[in-house]
Amino acid sequence: MKYHDELMRLLLGIVGANALGEDAGLSAGSLKLALPAATFAAFEFDSALLFGERVVFARPAIDMKPRALGAHMHTIARACGCRAACLLDAPSPYLKKSLMADAVGFVTLQGEFFLPALLRLRPSRAEGMPVTRAEPSATGKSVYLHLLYAEGGSTVSGMAERLGLSRAGVQRACEGLLVRGLVTRTTGGPTRRTAIYERVEGSDYFDAGWEAFGPAARRVRTVPLARAEGLPACGLSALAARTMLAPPSVPEFAVHVKREGALLGAGPDPSEPTAVVHVLPYDPTPFVRDGMVDPFTMLKTLSRHDERIDMAVDEVKEGMGWLT
């Protein structure tokens, strides 16, 4: 492919020098034998080693509709027995969204990329390769949640203002999600230079975040019910409010760790009602609706499971488009 050097430069910026290698084992002849003639004729091909595994990159040589492009890419992946991604010149937003919805990876000559394969290719620490930290920071969790519920793209300054966080922290969190293949980055605004981040569609973003997020709460406290007044409901209390599930006998609430001090004091009197409070490293306030934490935090703070609870959980996940 005549864009080989440009492709390698782009991949270097995405995965770093330690994870990128030249692939000398793939030839045009082997591709021609493996692929249908129409597919082979419709693309220019190249390949690279990402974390030691081959990824074939295909640059369309003709115009084609998103559905046809996606079908070709799945054919290439099956025929080559490895992961495949597009190299695109200047794709339209519609094309990028269509490929993301079809779980087809791509890299653009402008530096945008969507590579869900990175989630599976990154080695574990036991294999001695550097990986992104499994659990995001408190800022990273807030940014993840913002993008989970955002309609369309978000700018760093917009997220920082809404979440009450520093722009530098939000920028780092967005870049971390970008490396994981969970968001795309485009440019826009009056100068066409403002970075705009948008999450992938479907349940992939939820599933990857659920795995990486770790426990939502740093700790759980039992306090007099009166001290929890004004806090958003979470866990089983929030799930009961969203479904037909009966509420728990001891209500559950959430609080940011910075407000935990207001809950401290003498232990609850045995005669007075109590509440369970989940102390979160991130502030749940920006996502609170109707006195409840957001659905993701609610699911992360469930204290127990049984058949009825699992049915209610599936109801919520289906309603949010998270059920796989």
Question: Greater confidence, 266 or 233?
Answer: 233
Cα separations in angstroms, 232 against 214, 279, 318: 21, 12, 23
* pLDDT greater than 80 at residue 251: yes
Residue 200: how many CA atoms within 13 Å on its side-chain side?
A: 28
CATH 3.40.50 fits 4-121, yes or no: no
Q: Identify the top-confidence range among 24-38, 49-63, 174-188, 222-236.
A: 222-236
**Regarding the domain delimited by 132-213, which CATH topology (the fold level of the hierarchy) does it fall under?**
Arc Repressor Mutant, subunit A (1.10.10)
**Where in the chain are the domains?**
4-121, 132-213, 219-310
pLDDT band at 267 (very low <50, low <70, confident <90, very high): low
| pLDDT tens digits, one per residue of 151-183 | 889 999 999 999 999 999 999 899 888 877 788
pTM of structure: 0.60
- Confirm whether 4-121 and 132-213 share one CATH topology: no
96 dihedral zone (left: phi>0; alpha: psi -120 to 50; beta): alpha
Residue pair 277/231 in contact by the 8 Å Cβ criterion? yes
pLDDT score for 119: 52
Query: Of 88 and 134, which is predicted with more confidence?
Result: 88
pLDDT at residue 20, rounded to an integer:
83
Round the average pLDDT of the chain to a whole number and report it.
86
pLDDT surpassing 50 at residue 128: no
